[in-house]
Amino acid sequence: MSALEAQRPRAPSWLAGRGFDTAVFAALVLLLWQGAHLWGGEVAMTTPLGTLLFTAKTLASAEFWPHAYATLSAFLIALVIAASSGILIGAVLGFHRLSGEVAEPVLVAIYSIPKVTLYPIILLFFGIGIAAEVAFGALHGIIPVILFTMNAVRNIKPVYIKSARVMRVSGWPLFRTVLLPATLPEVFTGLRVGFSLTLIGTLLSEMFGSKRGIGFVLMQAIGLHNMDVIMSLTFLLVAFAGSVNVLLLAIDHRLHRRA
């Protein structure tokens, strides 16, 4: 560093850091939250601390876990279905150009409609219960997985496959060494988006017609005007979705940087 640079007064480095900004942001959110409580009163909003204490109490309670288990199992089954069939369908549509072209606008259209209106139909076909929840969750999650996988396959550069053929690579080694690494980043993005949408689908189905699960408990709490329950469950769900997404985003970025 030159003398000229060194002489310039600088703010302490922690003030310029990312961690500081995030802390300021978190503090602002807490302040607003507390402020909303002061403004609206105990009925309208539980304080941050109150929410945290009640969340701890909820996590320790016996009633919470069966509902959490119900939501989680429906969600995970839906996710597995959405991911596996989504990748399979997406790969087929990607390799078979015409099918892909035929299907793409339909998929995009389904992606952007309020799918919640279709839930009664799913209920009529599957009946109230885990089957309908799984079906609805998977319906939400499968579309982005298909779309991203299809585009990943379409965008494999032909020169990669040509190079592989020049080196006489084909079959399983071609898949493992060329096709999979070339498509992985985009497919992973699809899975990340699919994860979020499957969660939304599962929760929505529990909120409308269900006798169990966290979505159901949330709706029940409205009738009882139980703000503590609503705030702590909302907090738990947002924290769960947010932290899983941070993890998935980090993997996503790493995969894309390499690609």
Residues that bind other proteins in the complex, under the rule CB under 8 A: 1-2, 4-5, 18, 21-22, 24-25, 40, 43-45, 98, 101-103, 105-106, 108-109, 112-121, 123-125, 192-193, 195-196, 199-200, 203-204, 207-208, 215, 218-219, 221-222, 225, 227, 230-231, 233-234, 237-238, 241-242, 244-246, 249
Residue placing its CB nearer to other proteins in the complex, 167 or 251: 251
The nearest distance, CB 107 to other proteins, in angstroms, is 11
The nearest distance, CB 220 to other proteins, in angstroms, is 9
Cβ neighbours for 10, distance < 8 A, ≥ 6 positions apart: none
The nearest distance, CB 215 to other proteins, in angstroms, is 8
Residue placing its CB nearer to other proteins in the complex, 21 or 251: 21
Residue placing its CB nearer to other proteins in the complex, 179 or 232: 232
The nearest distance, CB 218 to other proteins, in angstroms, is 5
Contact 153, 182 (CB under 8 A): no
The nearest distance, CB 57 to other proteins, in angstroms, is 18
